[in-house]
Amino acid sequence: MNNPANLVTPKLIELCKNLPYIVICGYTKTGKITIARKLAGELNRELIISDDYKFQDYGDNFLQAFMTAVDTRVQQKKPIIAEGVLCFRLLRKTVQLNGILPDLIIKTECDEQTIRHFYNRDNESHKVEKALSFNKGLNTIWNDYLALLNQNPRIKKPKIIQLNTSLSYYGL
């Protein structure tokens, strides 16, 4: 079975080595955290995981808490990797507020069959339809982010790498 950590190749590590602010975003069950942990370990970087900023802990301020954690490190010029589905909203909000954009965005993506496979494997098949709907919302936010980037030609655009984590992509 494919392991998304295998996508963290020496070439990707070399590319990331001198880029202090990296964002890893992607839809649910696409291997974001696996890739982020491996890359953070290889680069000896702090990893800020958006799932650590939950509504239960932060209430309506969960996105702001995540953004503050990221922004604080960026302002301190600490090399970081920010990971998670909240990164879609982080990216859009950063452009809207004219904040500091990441140097690199790694976007994970996979097909619906793979998403279903991993929800079933994790005994969470009851969550699949809600997750697929949620992913459509994330796609809307991503497209909003790209449109906002393109509306302002003065913004230095981050490099974007897309990693396909679909099982079918690997012949599985």
The owner of tokens 């497209």 is 143
* Nearest-10 crossing angle of helices 128-151, 112-121: 140
CA distance 41 to 53: 21
Token pair listed for 30 = 């696409």
Longest dimension (CA), the chain: 47
Instruction: Identify the pLDDT of residue 170.
Output: 56
Assess if residue 19 is contained within a domain: yes
Instruction: Identify the pLDDT of residue 116.
Output: 92
Taken as a whole, the chain contains a residue count of 172
Assess if residue 1 is contained within a domain: no
Number of domains in the chain: 1
Assess if residue 125 is contained within a domain: yes
Assess if residue 77 is contained within a domain: yes
- State the CATH number of the domain containing residue 121: 3.40.50.300
Instruction: Identify the pLDDT of residue 171.
Output: 53
Instruction: Identify the pLDDT of residue 1.
Output: 41
Determine if residue 128 is left, alpha or beta; phi over 0 gives left, psi from -120 to 50 gives alpha, anything else beta.
alpha
Positions of the chain with pLDDT lower than 70, given as ranges: 1-2, 169-172
Per residue in 19-67, pLDDT (tens digit) is 999 999 999 999 999 999 999 999 999 999 999 998 788 888 998 999 9
Assess if residue 16 is contained within a domain: yes
The owner of tokens 């982080």 is 90
Assess if residue 150 is contained within a domain: yes
Determine if residue 44 is left, alpha or beta; phi over 0 gives left, psi from -120 to 50 gives alpha, anything else beta.
left
